[in-house]
Structures are given as C-alpha cells and as structure tokens.
Amino acid sequence: MGASELIAAQPSAGVAKGPVRRLLLSPPAVVGLCCLLLLLAGSAVNRNFLMPTYLLQQLQIAAFLGLAAAGLMTVILLGHIDLSVPWTITTGAMMAAAAGATYGPAWAIPAGLLCGALVGLVNGLGVALLRIPSMIFTLGANAVLQGLMVLYTGGHAPQHAATPLMHDLAVGRTVGVPNAVLAWAAVSVLVHLLLARTVAGRYVYVMGNSERAAYLSGVRTAQMTVVCFIACGMLAALSGVLLAGYSGNAYQAMGDPYLLPAIAAVVLGGTNILGGRGSYLGTVAGVVFIVLLQSMLAVLQMPEAGRQIIYGALILAMLLLYGRSAKVR
C-alpha cells in the first residue's frame, strides 16, 4: 500500500458526501459566500459598497488580477509555478506601448501578447526540456526580464504612452460594462472550456497528478508544459497591456504587486498548489474575494500594516478550512 499511502498525502480525492453538500462545501462556493459576507460587511461601513457603479469598478480592477491569475492557475495545475509574472506584465505593457508608437496603434496589443508568448516559450523550454524546477527558472527569467526592461528604458519611465485602443480596452465601457471585465469574462469562458471540456485540459490535470503516468500513456508532456507556460505568459502580458491602458502609461515594476495576490487567489479558489486539482470557477471567486478585501480595507482606511496582517491571516484561515492534506500514514 506504499504508493497509495503517499497519494493519500494529497488532499483527499473522493470524500464520500452527498453531491449537494459537496457542492456547497466546495472551495468556489465557500469563497463565493465569503465574498458576499465581505460585501455585506462593507456596506455596513459604507453604503456605497453595494452600489452597481462601485461593484463594476471593483470588477474592472479584478480583471487585471484575474487575467494574471488565470494564466498562473494553468501552470499551477501542471504542478509548476511561474514567478516571472511580475516582469512579464511589465514587459507586455512596455513593449505594447513601444510597438504602438513605433509601428502604429494596431500593433500594440499583438506585440505585447507576442512578448508574453516568447517569455512563456523560454520558461516552458527550460522547465520541460532542461527539467529545471520551475520555481527557480522563472525566478531567473524574472530577473532577466527586469534587466532587459531597465536596459530598454534607460532606467527612466518609458516614454511611450498607451495607445488609445489600450486605454479604451482598459477603461472604456460597452453597454455600461467595463471592457476590461468583458475581456476577462471572454478569457474566463475560454479558459474554463479548455480546462473542463477539451483533451488538452484533461491532459493538464493528468500531468499535474502524475507526469510519469501521463508520459507512459502517450501524453506529449513536454509539449503541454510549453503550451501552458506560453498561455501564462500571454495572459500576464495581456494583463500588463490593460494595466498600461488604465494608467495611461507603463511604468517600472508595475507587475510586482500582482504575483502574490494572484497565487493567493488561485489557492484560495481551491486549486492545489501541487497541481492536479482545482476548478477555474474557484480562481475567479478567489480573485473577486481578494479585490473586495483590498478595497474594503481601503474604505476602512486601514493602514498598510493592518491590511497586510488581515490579508495574510484571512488566507490562512480559509485554507485551514478546506485546503488541508491528509495525514501521511
């Protein structure tokens, strides 16, 4: 029973509960409930909390985090991690602005996405072919990207502004709904369908559980790994493009504040950090939760110190609720 005992050390796969009860206790549901609680608590403090305009604005901000989290989730499902997201965001933003200014506005967004894809390709090759642990390779990649961007901008703020299209995408609205939210929704639908309903999506979960068994079953594991990292890179770059559009400009280290919240959102949403388990719906719920939390703390005018403490403590509390592994016996 040796191997199966080791397997049991991962979060328990099939807990025998009724289907309705399992749904209600599933991470996306729990997080969703916590989001509702946050909204109620926030509205107790400030009545504007529940107003549609405010909620839409929060969703808009959530879109930036959500795109990065979507890409990160794909990689985490594989059992890897991508620590180069911060500077991929920044690179995507800067390159988009630069391309827009140099080659014309139509080239901005494709250029940004292409950069993200290239970063993902390098990461994927390093992890899949050289078998370097993803944590350390993407860490190095992050440092290299920072070096490249510092070199490119000469250490100053980048000169090129975001193109009108970028701005429109980030800030504009269609039928009253922010475009950023629409973009996030479109990406989300795509990601969810890919993960839940396609062959490639199934392969991702299988590889996250056991790359060895996947390989011996004829899954092209190296190819899948590279594809997932490319997706993560592109989504991070897209997030950067939108962020640049939102603030009108790309700026140094603009991606740094997004890594840890993105990882937290993915894990809060029920994705196992070791890979192989998790639903995208949970990630979306996690992103919304974190954005609402940060916003509520801002509304409460909580100093940064208090925000950090509450943020960390809350994540731990929720994980202790549903993220625990079984005992190793």
Partner 1 sequence: MPEALLQLQGISKRYAGVRALDGADLTCHAGEIHAVLGENGAGKSTLIKTIAGVVQPDAGRILMEGVELRLASPNAARDQGIACVFQELSLVPDLSVAENIFLSRPPRRRGLIDAKAQQAQALALLDMLGCGDIHPKERVGDLPLSRRQLIEIAKALSLQPRLLILDEATSALSSEDVERLYKLLFELRARGVGCLFISHRMHEVKALADTCSVFRSGRRVDTFASGARSDAEVVQLMIGRDVAKSYPPKTGPAPWAQPAISVQGLSWRPELHDISLEIKTGEIVGLGGLDGQGQRELLLALFGVLKGVQGKVEVFGQARRDLAPHVCKQPELGIALIPEDRKTEGLILPMSIRENMSLANLPALGRMGVLSASAEHSAVARMVEQLRIKIGSAQDPVQTLSGGNQQKVVIAKWLMTKPRVLLLNDPTRGIDVATKQELYTLLRRLAAEGVAVLLYSTDYEELIGLADRVLIMYEGRIARTLAGDEISEHAIVASSLNVPMSVPNVSLNVSPGGREAATA
Partner 2 sequence: MSRRSEWGMALRRNGGPLAALAVFALMFALFLAEHPRSISVAIVTTASNKAVLLAIVAMAQTLPVITRGLDLSVGMVMVMTGCLASTLVNGAPWQVALGIVLVLACGAAAGAVNGAIVVFGRLQPIIVTLATGAVYFGFALLLRPAPGGEVSEGLSDALTGRLFGVVPATLVLLAVLVVLGWMPFRRTVIGRACYAVGSSEHAAYLSGVPSERAKLLAYTIAGLLSGVAGLLLSLIALSGEASGPQAGLYTLNSIAAVVIGGTSLYGGTGGMVGSIIGAFVLRTIGDLLFVFNAPALWQPLFEGLILLAAVCIGAARVLRVRNRLELF
Question: Which residues lie closer than 8 Å to 185 by C-beta, 6 or more apart?
Answer: none
Binding mask 68-107 for partner 1 (x = CB under 8 A): ----------------------------------------
Does position 6 interact with partner 2 (CB under 8 A)? The reply is: yes
Contact status: 34 vs partner 2 (CB under 8 A): no
- Binding letters toward partner 2, positions 147-166, x by CB under 8 A: xx-xx--xx-----------
Q: Which does 264 bind (CB under 5 to 8 A by kind): partner 1, partner 2, none?
A: partner 2
- From the list partner 1, partner 2, none, which binds 176 (C-beta under 5 to 8 Å, kind-based)? none
Between 107 and 311, whose beta carbon lies closer to partner 2? Answer: 311
Binding residues for partner 2, total number by CB under 8 A = 62
Return the structure tokens found at 293.
């939390």
Report the partner that residue 205 touches, choosing among partner 2, partner 1, none (CB closer than 5 to 8 A by kind).
partner 1
- Residue carrying structure tokens 């199934």: 202
Exposed, middle or buried by CB within 10 Å (0-12, 13-18, 19+), for 65? Answer: buried
Among 157, 186, 193, 326, binds partner 2 (CB under 8 A): 326
CA distance 72 to 265: 10
What DSSP assignment string belongs to 211-224? HHHHHHTT--HHHH
The DSSP string of 263-319 is HHHHHHTT--TTSS---HHHHHHHHHHHHHHHHHHHHTT--HHHHHHHHHHHHHHHH
Rounded Cα distance between 213 and 143, Å, is 34
Stretch that binds partner 2, among 22-30, 173-181, 183-191, 298-306 (CB under 8 A): 298-306
Taking residues 212 to 231 in sequence order and writing x for each that binds partner 1 by CB under 8 A, - otherwise, the string is xxxxxxxxx-----------
Judged by CB under 8 A, the chain residues 120 through 149 that form the site for partner 1 are none
CB 169, min distance to partner 2, A:
30
CA-to-CA distance for 278 and 266, rounded, in angstroms? 9
Site for partner 1 in 234-293 (CB under 8 A): 276-277
CB within 8 A of 307, min separation 6: which ones?
Answer: 294, 297, 298
Cβ atoms within 10 Å, residue 164: 13
Selection from partner 2, partner 1, none that 276 binds (CB < 5 to 8 A by kind) is partner 1
C-beta atoms surrounding 111 within 10 Å: 21
Alpha-carbon distance of 167 to 43, in angstroms, equals 31
* Residues at the contact surface with partner 2, assessed by CB under 8 A: 2, 5-6, 9, 83, 126, 129-133, 135-137, 139-148, 150-151, 154-155, 210-212, 215-216, 256, 260, 263-264, 267, 273-274, 303-313, 315-316, 319-320, 323-329
* Residues at the contact surface with partner 1, assessed by CB under 8 A: 1-4, 7, 10, 13-14, 197-200, 202-203, 205-206, 209-210, 212-220, 276-277, 329
